[in-house]
Structure 1
Amino acid sequence: MKALDKNEYTDYDVSHVFNEIILSHLDSYNGKKKQQLKSFLEDLQKGGCISGMIGEFIYHNDCKAFYIKHIEDLEGIKEDLEEAFGEPVANRYKLPHYTFLCWLCFEEYCYGIYRDVFEQ
């Protein structure tokens, strides 16, 4: 899906895994692929990973395994965000670091797609 290529994080290998996660959720939405993507991204913006809508990131053990596998990319995305914001990103829910990073990076990745594809 071409819309998933429009993202500032495509240089990170984890972007391919994030795209697979996104694509695996689209069938539960109505419309053509682009409308399904928009609906999915809007739902994620409303509820976030904390809502449990991303099965891959519900359990801390799953997040820990994902974090270990993609540690350099996730920490890199976090550093990019902190550089853009000019301040540290706060873990306001006091989550385990690995869960926080999975949620933060996935949500930011998805928001970047939404912004680049649907807010032009």
Structure 2
Amino acid sequence: MKALTKSMFSDYDVSRTFNAIIRNNMESYDGTKKEKLKSFLLDLQHSGCISGMIGEFIYHTDCKAFYIEHLEDLENIKTELEESLGEPIANRYGLPHYTFMCWLCLEEYCYDIYRNSFE
């Protein structure tokens, strides 16, 4: 799906795994692939990972394993985001760092795809 390549973070290896998560989770939506993707991305923007809508990131143990596997990419994505914002990104819910990083990076990855594909 071409839209999944439209993120400024697509060069990171973790993007392939994020794309698999997106494909898996968008299947429960109705419509064409593009409509399913748009609906999924909008839901994620509205509810966020904290809602539990991303099965891969519900449990801290799953987030920890994912973070350890993709540590460098996730930390680099956060650094890029902070540089573009000009300020640090706070873990305002006091989550374990690994859960915060998984949620932050997936949400921003998906937001960037939405912005570049549907706005």
The TM-score with structure 2 as length reference comes to: 0.99
Paired with 1:25 and 1:100, the residues of 2 have a C-alpha distance of 20
Following superposition, the deviation at residue 100 of structure 1 comes to 0.2
Give distance in 2, aligned partners of 1:46 and 1:9: 21
**What corresponds to 1:52 in structure 2?**
52
Counterpart of 2:71? Answer: 71
Q: With structure 1 as the length reference, what TM-score do the two structures score?
A: 0.98
Question: Which residue in the other structure is 2:33 paired with?
Answer: 33
Percent pairwise identity: 71
Consecutive aligned runs of 4 or more in structure 1 exceeding 2 Å deviation: none
Q: What are structure 1's unaligned runs of at least 5 residues?
A: none
Partner of 2:111: 111
Unaligned residue ranges in structure 2 (runs of 5+): none
Matched residue type, 1:70 = H
Task: State the 1:27 CA deviation.
Answer: 1.5
Report the CA distance between 1:26 and its aligned residue: 1.6
